[in-house]
């Protein structure tokens, strides 16, 4: 068996715990370090997972000599700085979505990874789900004919106070950055690059969007209709439609365990798809595959795609009037 790939995690929140859990289900993955700005939080996290070292600063973990890949799971506005920190220290990086706050920051991170010849991937876990792979396989076989449209939604009722990260602009709050990236990313994965976008939003009292809708035109001629909400518990489904029928990634589409194919002959069938562990296992497997092969990016989530999607997000924010502190920096 190959030597395990050694992971460090920046951050100790819910998403960091999800990734740490996934690492336990990947035989050649080893969590060796976790860092927080609070040593006490890092130590508590390390006690819950088999991490050998708890660090009281991100800098200490980045400098550690026994780490291959760093997972950035800090609040949104810290992603760019934390990814740059790890890359500067010679570590490969898996960076949680949204990759950064805007395209300008994303360009800086990608440029450093490329100049240092280091692996870097946006942690859009849905991109690596077997359900999405099966949808693409059926489309390639011509199952639903020529593909023209995607409709996708992602929403839940966020019953939190204004200081919570989902509503706090200083923490990169807002439905678009937190949820909207999912329908956007998968629509682009299925229909190709976005060439035009039209967006509307309802803004909340803290100045961030509480629900946003946007339509996209894609380079191949297809269109997609996407929405995200902190006010409505939506179906959480994605449907891709063609000239002969449609395929639905079932609730919740971002972590789908099945897809349903409906054709113009009246036939309908549901296909169960693999789902390893808590779902994050699939992106860990892909990151480790790329790292072992000496790749600096994944063909399933390329740097160019990440940059293009951040640019679309920037344009949606421009249209709905959503501005963050990061937009005034640099």
Average the pLDDT over 77-81 and give the result: 98
Residue 208 is part of a domain; what is its CATH number? 3.30.360.10
Q: Catalogue the active-site residues.
A: 97
pLDDT digits (tens, 9 = 90+) for 144-161: 999 999 999 999 999 999
Residue 68 is part of a domain; what is its CATH number? 3.40.50.720
pLDDT for the residue numbered 1: 64
Average the pLDDT over 43-70 and give the result: 95
CB atoms within 10 A of CB 202: 14
179 and 322 in a single domain? The answer is yes
Confidence of residue 326 (pLDDT cuts 50, 70, 90): very high
First to last CA, the chain: 46
177 and 70 in a single domain? The answer is no
For residue 296, is it within any domain? no
**Quick one: which H or E segment has residue 114?**
helix 103-115
- Report how far apart, in Å, the C-alpha atoms of 250 and of each of 37, 180, 194, 247 are: 39, 17, 24, 9
Nearest Cα residue to 239 out of 138, 143, 151, 137: 151
Whether residue 98 has a cis bond before it, omega within 30° of 0: yes
pLDDT for the residue numbered 251: 84
Q: Which two tokens stand for residue 8?
A: 């460090």
Q: Report how far residue 4's alpha carbon sits from residue 29's, in angstroms, rounded to the nearest whole number.
A: 5
pTM reported for the whole predicted model: 0.96
User: Among the three residues 126, 148, 180, which one is the final residue of a domain in this structure?
Assistant: 126
CB atoms within 10 A of CB 47: 10
Whether 51 shows a pLDDT value over 80: the answer reads no
User: Among the three residues 95, 126, 157, which one is the final residue of a domain in this structure?
Assistant: 126
225 and 86 in a single domain? The answer is no
Alpha-carbon radius of gyration of the chain? 20
User: Among the three residues 126, 141, 161, which one is the final residue of a domain in this structure?
Assistant: 126
pLDDT digits (tens, 9 = 90+) for 175-234: 999 999 999 999 999 999 999 999 999 999 999 999 999 999 999 899 999 999 999 999
Q: Report how far residue 17's alpha carbon sits from residue 73's, in angstroms, rounded to the nearest whole number.
A: 9
- Report how far apart, in Å, the C-alpha atoms of 72 and of each of 176, 295, 297, 304 are: 20, 19, 16, 20
Chain-centre distance of CA 128, in angstroms?
Answer: 10
Q: Which two tokens stand for residue 202?
A: 């309802």
90 and 165 in a single domain? The answer is no
Share the mean pLDDT of the chain.
Answer: 97
For residue 302, is it within any domain? no
């Amino acid at each position: 068996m190959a030597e395990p790939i050694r992971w460090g995690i920046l951050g100790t929140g819910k998403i960091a715990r999800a990734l740490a859990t996934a690492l336990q289900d990947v035989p050649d993955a080893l969590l060796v370090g976790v860092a927080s700005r609070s040593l006490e939080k890092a130590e508590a996290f390390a006690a819950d997972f088999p991490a050998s070292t708890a660090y009281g600063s991100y800098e200490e973990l980045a400098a550690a000599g026994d780490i291959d890949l760093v997972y950035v799971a800090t609040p949104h506005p810290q992603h760019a700085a934390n990814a740059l920190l790890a890359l500067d220290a010679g570590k490969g990086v898996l960076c949680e979505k949204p990759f950064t706050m805007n395209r300008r920051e994303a360009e800086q991170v990608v440029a450093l990874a490329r100049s240092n010849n280091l692996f870097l991937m946006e942690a859009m876990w849905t991109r690596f789900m077997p359900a999405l792979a099966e949808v693409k396989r059926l489309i390639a076989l011509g199952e639903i004919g020529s593909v023209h449209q995607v409709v996708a939604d992602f929403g839940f009722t966020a019953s939190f106070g204004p200081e919570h990260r989902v509503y706090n602009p200083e923490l990169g709050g807002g439905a678009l950055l937190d949820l909207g990236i999912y329908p956007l990313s998968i629509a682009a994965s299925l229909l190709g690059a976005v060439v035009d976008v039209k967006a509307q939003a309802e803004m909340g009292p803290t100045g961030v969007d509480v629900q946003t809708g946007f339509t996209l035109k894609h380079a191949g001629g297809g269109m997609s209709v996407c929405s995200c909400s902190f006010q409505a518990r939506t179906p959480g489904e994605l449907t891709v439609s063609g000239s002969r029928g449609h395929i639905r990634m079932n609730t919740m589409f971002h972590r789908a365990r099945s897809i349903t194919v409906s054709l113009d002959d009246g036939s309908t069938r549901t296909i169960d798809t693999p789902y390893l562990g808590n779902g994050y296992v699939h992106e860990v497997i892909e990151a480790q595959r790329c790292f072992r092969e000496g790749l600096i990016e994944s063909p399933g989530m390329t740097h160019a795609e990440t940059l293009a999607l951040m640019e679309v997000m920037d344009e949606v924010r421009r249209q709905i009037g959503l501005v963050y502190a990061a937009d005034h920096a640099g």
